[in-house]
Amino acid sequence: MILLTGASGTVGAALLQRLLAAGRPVRCLVRDPRELGPERVRVHLVLADLADPASFRHAMRGVHCVVHLAAATRDGARASIEELNGLATVRLLRAAEAASVSRFLFLSTLGASPHAKPRYLRSRALAEQAVAESELETTVLAPSLAIARGDRLLTMLERLSLLPAMPILARGSVRYQPIHAADVADAALRALDGPALGRYELAGPETVSLTALTNALLHARSRRRRKVHLSPSAVRVALAMLERVVGPGVAATPDEVDLLEVSLLSSGGTADAERLGVRPLPFAEALDTPAVPPGPG
């Protein structure tokens, strides 16, 4: 039995589809089963919240491997980014160790560092450290920007592209090596099937700036817009005010804008992905491909 967190996310949905297609028994830790769509009837469900360790106390029964993909880029109603990413990972590790689980696969990110400005990256570094110090057999996958048509970032950019002028958030010179979310899911599946332990940096074949990513999306949608570069400080102030008015449903938070100011690059390029038997899609193809193909109808 595989315990999967983050199954409703872009990478998680793609991995869940692959695990089920392979006939693997999967237990999903979710807050709301409806997030899984039609797949919810094909998996074991544990209704739990990573901010509440008591809620997943019995989730490890019969589990041989934990795949921890869940992450938060903003504070929740009951817990901070640090608790949802860092402390929750520690709690899962301890529960897995107590239940004699053999493997733990953790999805982190490039740029994770205790000295990073974004709270998200600092919290991911704390989680990575806990995974590295665990007595379990562990694998860490650290992708650059994982993208797929319909993901949160591209959806936000698409909505902004409907404006008469296209705002470029933060510094447009920040660079990424975008990798398709399904390629990350394939890497996770290969890691689970083999003896792949340690840390793998997953990057796509091209390096692009935030401005180039925005231009590519506009071109793919056949939209011509004048670009307006916005001051990061001004964006943070505006979003902080909007967050106080709108609440948790705000499109972006100041913490998420901080993330757009950090380059996510791997010196090895696609080497680690290829070590896992995955050849990442070219950027243009990844930009316009959903992580999970739409079903019939």
- Give the model's confidence band at 250: pLDDT under 50 very low, under 70 low, under 90 confident, else very high: low
Average pLDDT of the residues in 259-265: 89
Phi/psi for 117 (5° steps) reads -70, -45
Identify the CA nearest to 204 among candidates 180, 186, 188. Answer: 180
The number of beta carbons lying within 10 Å of the beta carbon of residue 107 is: 28
List % helix, strand, coil for the chain (3-state, nearest 5).
Answer: 40, 15, 40
Q: Which residue has the higher pLDDT, 175 or 293?
A: 175
Lowest-confidence pick of 37-41, 112-116, 149-153: 149-153
Per the prediction, the chain carries an average pLDDT of 87
Handedness of CA 37, 43, 48, 53 (dihedral sign): negative
For residue 256, pLDDT beyond 60: yes
Q: What is the pLDDT of residues 197-232, one digit of tens each?
A: 899 999 999 999 988 888 887 877 777 877 777 777
| E strand or H helix at 94 | helix 88-98
User: Helix, strand or coil for residue 218?
Assistant: helix
Structure token digits, residue 106: 């953790």
Residue spans of beta strands (DSSP E) within 58-155: 65-68, 103-107, 137-143, 146-147
Give 34's contacts (C-beta < 8 A, 6+ positions apart). Answer: 40
Handedness of CA 150, 273, 35, 83 (dihedral sign): negative
**Range among 51-60, 105-114, 144-153 rated most confident:** 105-114
